[in-house]
Chains A and B, each alone.
Chain A
C-alpha cells in the first residue's frame, strides 16, 4: 500500500526506499464466505453480455464467470444469490468526483499547488459517498478543483461506506494530479488582477513551473553525483514539496488529469506535454473533443466527459451530446464522469443516453462508466469488468442499468455487501452512526473564492 501522503511520496521520490511505506488495511476478512450470484444478465464490460450468467466470488475476487446456467464450480458452502430477471454489472467508476472533500476542493490561493494532497480533506462519512454507493458507484477518483493551472494530487477510493478512512483507500492505485485550463484559472486569478488572467497567461504559468522543476531536478542530480563520487562536503539542496511534485510529473510518476474544454487547448496541452516529456492520461470535461478526436487519439489520452451538459459557460457553448460517441468512433477512449454529487448517483443512465446520442452499443455504453474510467485512474487491471481475477466489485440492478428505470439493488465491493436496497434504514450493512453533510454539489468550481 502506497499512501498518497506527502511524506510517503517524498521518501520514495528522494531516497527510493520502500521500506517505510505503510501497509494496507484493506484485506477482506477471511470470514467472508464465497458468493455466487446466478441467473443474471451479466454485462461483463469486457467480453459481452451473458444470459443466465453466474459469477463466483472467492476471497473478494472473481473466481469464475459462467453463462447459460452453467456451473461456476463454486463450493456448496457458497452463499447463493438468485438474480433471476436482474442485471449484473461491474461496479460503476467515477473518474471525476469532488465528493467528500469537506468543502476543501480548491486551494485557490495560487495557480500552482501540486503538493496539495486531497486525502487530507477526505471525509469518509460524507453523505455523498452513501448516495453514490446507492447508485452503484464502487470506485471514485477524488480530484482537486479547477481553480489552478496545476492543482493538487488526487485520492482514489473504494466506496466501502462505513469503514475507516484508510480502509476506503484503493490499495496501490497510481497517483494522479489535477491540471486545469481555460476559464476557471483565468477567472479566479484575473479577478484579483493576478497572473493568469488570459489563456496566454495560463499556459505560461505552466511552462515556467516546469522550467523551475527542471532546475530543481538538476540541483538534486548534481548533488547526487557528488555524493556518488564520495564528496562528503556536498550540501543537499532544500526539499521543496511543490517542486518535488512537479518533478514527479516530469519523471512520469504522476498521471496527469487535465480539466480542459476547448479543441485548441487540447492541442496546446499535448504540445506542452511533448515539450516537457510527460503523458496526459485524460482530458476531463473535454466537451469539444469531437472536433479534434482524430488528432488526439494517437496520443492515447482518454477523455472523461459529461453526457449532455452544455451552455453553462462560454467554453461549454459548443458542447454536443454526441461528443462521447463521435470521439470514441475516432479512437479516443471515452469515460463519462459526474463532477457532481447529484449525477454520480445515476451514471448508469447517463451512459444509457449514449445509446440515443450516436448509437453506442450497450457494451460500449456500460464500458464508459466501468472499464474506461478504470483505465483513466490506472486500475483497469483490477476493476472495471467482470473477469476472473478482478476485484469482486459488482452491482445487481432491477432492470437493464442503461434504462431510466434502473435501480441498484445490491452493491458488492471486494465481494462484501456494502449496499442492499431491501435492507431497512440506510441499506448499508457496514454503516451505522451519523453521516456528515459535506454541503455543496461537488463540482469543479466549488469553493473557488469567486463563488461557484
Chain B
C-alpha cells in the first residue's frame, strides 16, 4: 500500500506539473491569437458552419464564421482542423468531481454530511480537491465545465460550485461558489436506518422530511427578521440606553445554517432538487411555491405521468439518468424517451453524467456526451441533445453569457474531435480551456503508454 501511495503521489506530481505548464503563468505571452481553421463548427447557438474559422484572442472567442469571412491575423497560431468537428466544451450539470477519488475508500470521499438532514451551510468549495486524477480523465473527452454537487443523503445537502476543468489551483478552477442549493426529496433521505446506521430516527417518513424542511425554512425567515432587528441596534446606540439595557441585550448570535438558506428564500439563486417519483415532485413543488423557491428539477425519471404539469411550472429540468431502469411492467424505453418528451413540451432540459447503478458518478463524467446521444436515439432532436450538455446548462446556472456556445465574447472552451461528439466511437483530439491547449494526458494515458512499450 505504501508503494502504491508513493507511485500515486509521483504521478499526481507529474499531473500537477503538466497542468501548471499548460496554464498561462507570469511568463506567458501577454497576447495570444489562435485560429482554428477548416473544421466543421457546431456553434450550438447558430447552427453548423462547414469549413469554418474560429478565432481566439486572449482566451476568448473573437470571431466565428465561414472560411474567408473571418480575417486571420498575421500573428495568429493556426490550428488545422480539416476533417475535425469543433464544438464548445461540454458542461456537466450534476457531478461529484473533486469530492471523491476511490469510490470505496471513505478517506478519499467528501460527499455529504448525513449527521443532519438540513445542511445548507455545507459549502462544496471547502472540499473541492482540484488535483483529483478524475478531472484530466473527464477533460480528455471534452468536458470543460461542471457543476459539483454534494451526495444525495440529505434533504438540504449543501451549496454547489461551478468549475472549469483546468486551472493553476482550486481558486482558478472555481468559477462560481454557492451557485445553487442542492436539495433532495424522496425515499432515500428517510432515516430508516438512523444517521449512518442504527435504529430508525426522525424523519423516517416523507411526512417527517417535508415537515422538517418547512420548519427549517420558517426558522430561516424568523431568523432573518431577528437578525435585521439586531443589526438596527448598533452597540453604540445600546450603550446610550444605560447599563440596564446593556445587560438584557445579549450580543446577536449568528446561525450559519439558517443564514445559508436566505439567498434561496429570496429567490436570488436556484435550488436543485433531486426527486424521482411524480407524486414526490408534486409534494416538493407545493413547498417551493409556498416559499417562492427558484427551482431546477433533477432526475424526474419516474414522473412520466406529470410531464404536462412539469412543463406548466416553467422550470428547467436536469433529466435522467437516462439509464435509470424503468419499473416492472413499464415499457423498456419509459426513461429513454423522457428527454425527448420534456423537450417536446418546451421544457429547458439539461443532461448529466450521472448513471444508474455501477460506479457512475464522478468517474463517468467522460461519458456525458453519450447520455445526450442516447437521448437523441430515442427522439430528442440532435441540436437539443447537444444543447442539453452545453448552452442549456450554462444558462440554467447563470453562465450563459460566458459559456456553452461558439459565440464572440465567450470564454474559448473549445473541443476538436474526429467526428460526432455524441458518438461513442469519436475520439477527442484536443481540448482548449480559456484558449489554452490542455495536455491530452491523464493518469490513464500514462499507464497505457507505460505498458505499450
Enumerate chain A interface residues (CB-CB to B < 8 A): 127-128, 130-131, 134-135, 183, 290-291, 308-314, 316-322, 326, 339-343, 345-346, 349-350, 352-353, 355-356, 402-407, 421, 425-427, 434-437, 441-443
Contact = CB atoms under 8 A, between A and B. Distances in A.
Contacts of A128: 325
Contacts of A314: 102, 104-105
A403 B355 contact: no
Nearest to B356: A342
B284 interface: no
Interface stretch (B219-227, B259-267, B343-351, B374-382): B374-382
A427 B332 contact: yes
A341 B447 contact: no
Contact of A341 (B331, B357, B377): B357
Contacts of B423: 352, 403-405
Nearest to A400: B425
Contacts of A353: 424-425
B134 A311 contact: yes
B381 to A, nearest CB: 13
B333 interface: yes
B358 A407 contact: no
Contact of A311 (B103, B329, B357, B445): B103
Nearest to A127: B328
A402 to B, nearest CB: 6
A320 B370 contact: no
A346 B102 CA distance: 25
Interface of B (DSSP majority class): loop
Given A127-B328, A349-B424, A317 B376 contact: no
15 contacts: A127-B325, A127-B328, A317-B4, A319-B444, A320-B448, A342-B323, A343-B358, A346-B374, A349-B374, A350-B424, A356-B424, A404-B423, A434-B329, A435-B329, A441-B356
A134 B134 contact: no
B357 A441 contact: yes
Given A290-B451, A342-B325, A435-B328, A308 B105 contact: no
B382 to A, nearest CB: 9
Given A127-B329, A135-B332, A313-B105, 12 more contacts: A127-B325, A290-B451, A312-B103, A314-B102, A318-B447, A322-B448, A339-B358, A340-B357, A340-B358, A345-B332, A356-B424, A402-B425
B358 A443 contact: yes
Contacts of A309: 358-359, 363
A88 B428 CA distance: 29
A356 B332 contact: no
A404 B370 contact: yes
B425 A403 contact: yes
B452 A326 contact: yes
B377 A352 contact: no
B370 A349 contact: yes
Given A312-B359, A404-B374, A435-B328, A356 B425 contact: yes
B18 interface: no
A310 B329 CA distance: 32
Nearest to A132: B332
A351 B445 CA distance: 20
Given A127-B329, A131-B332, A317 B102 contact: yes
A313 B448 contact: no
Contacts of B325: 127-128, 131, 341-342
Nearest to B427: A356
B69 to A, nearest CB: 32
A322 to B, nearest CB: 5
B425 A352 contact: yes
Interface in B97-121: 101-105
A310 B447 CA distance: 13
B422 interface: yes
B331 A425 contact: yes
Interface string B174-213: 0000000000000000000000000000000000000000
Contacts of B425: 352-353, 355-356, 402-403
Nearest to A408: B332
Nearest to A445: B104
A134 B377 contact: no
A245 B200 CA distance: 43
B357 A342 contact: yes
